[in-house]
């Protein structure tokens, strides 16, 4: 009985959790958000961890999965060449636990 309740709980959590899957567009006119990648964590608005499976990605917390097809993505992004053009500055991190927003006011760009 406890096992059944646990399985149902995980299923319900899975239904309400939305992955932050992104697609990188070729043109700025196709994107929802313009992104610039910085090397220093202190400069970033968002610390991003790249996962290998879409099931590992979660919400709007910096856990990203890159989609191959635009129709399957939650967000469409474009990487700009200059920091001044960006809506959000990101820095890639190697640890899942480091991912997240450093500037909460920018969170609206990926909702």
Q: Where do the domains of the chain lie?
A: 18-104
Write 81-84 long-range contacts (CB < 8 A, 24+): 82/36, 83/36, 83/38
What is d(CA 68, CA 26) in angstroms, rounded to the nearest whole number?
A: 13
| pLDDT tens readout for residues 2-60 | 444 444 444 434 433 344 899 999 999 999 999 999 999 999 999 999 999 888 887 89
Quick one: tokens of 94?
Answer: 């190697």
Residue 58: the pLDDT is 74
Q: Does an H or E element contain 79, and which?
A: strand 75-79
Residue 100: the pLDDT is 95
* 61 has a pLDDT exceeding 50: yes
Residue 12: the pLDDT is 39
What is d(CA 36, CA 106) in angstroms, rounded to the nearest whole number?
A: 13
């Amino acid at each position: 009985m406890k096992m059944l309740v646990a399985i149902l709980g995980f299923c319900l959590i899975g239904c309400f959790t939305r992955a932050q899957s992104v697609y990188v567009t070729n043109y700025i006119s196709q994107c929802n958000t313009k992104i610039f990648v910085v090397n220093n964590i202190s400069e970033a608005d968002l610390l991003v961890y790249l996962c290998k499976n879409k099931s590992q990605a979660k919400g709007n917390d910096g856990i990203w999965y890159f989609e191959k097809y635009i129709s399957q993505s939650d967000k469409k992004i474009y990487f700009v060449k200059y920091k001044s053009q960006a809506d959000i500055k990101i820095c890639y991190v190697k640890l899942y636990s480091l991912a997240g927003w450093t500037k909460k006011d920018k969170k609206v760009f990926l909702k």
